[in-house]
Amino acid sequence: MSEQPLNPSTAAAPDDDAADTAPAGPTPTGSTATGSTAAGSTAAGSTAAGSTAAGSTAAGSTAADVAADEAAALRAASFERARRLRMEPRFPGGPAADPAGSHHERRIRSFQPRRSRVTTGQQDALERLWPKWGLDIDGQRVLDLADLFDGLPVVLEIGFGMGEATAQMAADDPGTGILAVDVHTPGQGNLLGLADKAGSTNVRVANGDAVILLREMLAPESLDGLRVYFPDPWPKARHHKRRLIQPEFLDLVAPVLRPGAVVHCATDWEPYAEQMLEVLTAHPRFENTAADGGYAPRPAFRPLTRFEGQGLDKGHVVHDLLFARV
């Protein structure tokens, strides 16, 4: 998400063809002094007029160049202000605006960071609890999950929205640590506040790109599960490449999962569910836990979320997929 300034309209180029349309006059045949003088005067007049026109054109070009330079400077300043806004942390000591920095490669991402209003309660939770339970995905270190979660088995959850379902699962299963990843600041603050209110100490909130977390910050076979609930379906065909569940993503996931760890996906978008089933079934490191090789019933531990309820009200069918790492 960035603030994109409007480009100024480009000035129309002068019509150079117009200057070439006047026919040339005939060459005078007379050689009298008077004729020569007249011709010379005319030539001098033409030269003077040409010089004046050239001077006017040069002055006009200079003014246009100055205006163009000023417009370019304004655009550059606008882009710089937008860049600084994206880079500035909204809450000192809280989640960073760009935790991995620009040293990581540019690639197609499955998420789109956005800024939205943070409530007073969410801000309070971020300021109080982020130093204790929050971490930035900077790609600069490997996490010690045993130390981070006091020895609990850890499940990674990618994309938790406002955190209601995550907080409920953490409260219902205090013996499992949940490393919850998202980039939405209000949701991060909301989850921290909900966990604190419930007295749950088994939640850690990670801010940033889950791909960098999987690739650079998790030790092999350090996770006991992965949860991806209702990821963005990117419904338009040209955006399907942005969907999270792809073969390349599973290649990153498999090494950091312990044997037997379960990947649990859920979606209410039928075409995406079909793609998930196809991709997971085809991957050699995962095996479907459903006996018929299809979708699984919703497990009791996955709460019915508000978002899911809205989808069901619209007639959407929710599919759960549970695949074990082999």
Positions marked active-site: 232
Alpha helices in 154-313 (DSSP H): 164-172, 185-198, 210-212, 247-256, 270-282, 306-313
Phi (first) and psi of residue 120, to 5 degrees: -60, -40
- Tokens, residue 178: 């949940």
- Write the CA distances from 227 to 105, 142, 235, 245, 292, integer angstroms: 25, 21, 21, 11, 22
d(CA 198, CA 63): 67
- To the nearest 10 degrees (0 to 180), the angle between helices 185-198 and 164-172 is 30
Q: Please, what is the end-to-end C-alpha distance for the chain in angstroms? A: 39
Task: Identify the residue whose tokens are 């809450």.
Answer: 91
What's the chain's Rg over C-alpha atoms? 33
Task: Identify the residue whose tokens are 């088995």.
Answer: 153
Phi (first) and psi of residue 214, to 5 degrees: -65, -40
